[in-house]
Amino acid sequence: MFGFLRSPANKANDESNAKQTHQSAKRANSEPALNIPGKDFDDDATDRYKNGFREIAEDIKQDATKTLDTLHAQGEQITRTHNMAVDMEKDLSKGEKLLNNLGGIFSKPWKPKKTRQITGPVVAADNPSKKSDNHKEQREKLGLGGKRGHSAPTTPPSEPTSALQKVELEKAKQDDALSDLSNILGDLKGMAVDMGNEIERQNKALDHLSDDVDELKTRVKGANQRARHLLGK
């Protein structure tokens, strides 16, 4: 009968082991589970952002291309118009000589009033071939006239095997999209400066063309007066 009674020492050891087991279980329950960042990463949201960036870049390309083409076409039109004014001045000079000779021997010599020399369009250091090359280069920067360099892809080649690799893959995709957009915006910034310079050049060309046209109007008016004078004799 006394053999079944536990000794006080054994009882204390059992209570100590039970207490340690309880504390271990409690500590295990209280420790937070390891959360892998991006475990529930939203692929659709990333694709929407990436597609949105691409659409913005494409819209910028189209608008910049239209502006660039219109600006260059306008510059070429100004040059052609000024060249036409030069050709008109050559014909006018021949007519003025003829009007002078029609006066006869006893008439007072007539000379047209010229206040300035008509020199035509001033395309100072603007070589047409160089200008065309610049236009082509600007179009290539926009990805419209040839192959355009893109940012080096940073996306891992293999498929992600863990949640962390998946996050890194999506981050790399976002970095690529942002890098491409940044490159395009950088190109457009440089093009905006070129467009400003082109507009300033065209404004000067228009002023010069206006002066030549005014000179032509004055000389044509004088030639008409001389013709009426000869016809009235």
Reply yes or no on whether the pLDDT at 52 is more than 50: yes
The more confidently predicted of residues 178 and 106 is: 178
pLDDT at 147: 45
- Rounded Cα distance between 211 and 216, Å, is 9
Q: Does some domain include residue 223?
A: yes
pLDDT for the residue numbered 40: 47
What is the DSSP secondary structure assignment for residue 3, as one 8-state letter?
Answer: G
For 123-170, the pLDDT digits (tens) are: 655 444 455 566 556 556 555 544 444 555 544 455 656 788 877 877
CA-wise closest residue to 194 among 141, 158, 143, 119: 141
Task: Output the pLDDT for position 54.
Answer: 73
Q: Which amino acid is at 146?
A: G
Residue type, 111: K
More confident residue, 18 or 223: 223
- In the chain, the amino acid numbered 56 is I
Domain assignment of residue 190, given as a range: 165-232
Q: Which of 11-20, 65-74, 184-193 has the lowest mean pLDDT?
A: 11-20
Counting DSSP H helices and E strands in the chain, the numbers are 4, 0
Burial class (CB in 10 A: 0-12, 13-18, 19+), 113: exposed
The CA distance from 92 to 51, in Å, is 61
Inter-residue contact 204 to 121 (CB < 8 Å):
no
Residue 46 has pLDDT above 70, yes or no: no
206 assigned to some structural domain: yes
What does the alpha-carbon distance between residue 26 and residue 28 come to, in Å, rounded to a whole number? 5
Residue 199 lies in a domain: yes
Pick 142 or 223 by higher pLDDT: 223
Q: Is residue 176 part of a domain?
A: yes
As for how many domains the chain has, the answer is 1
pLDDT value at residue 167: 78
- With a cut of 60, say whether residue 20 has pLDDT above it: no
Higher pLDDT, 206 or 11: 206
Torsion from C-alpha of 133, 137, 143, 145, nearest 10 degrees? 10
Q: Is residue 205 part of a domain?
A: yes
208 confidence band (pLDDT: 50, 70, 90): very high
Decide if 41 is inside a domain. no
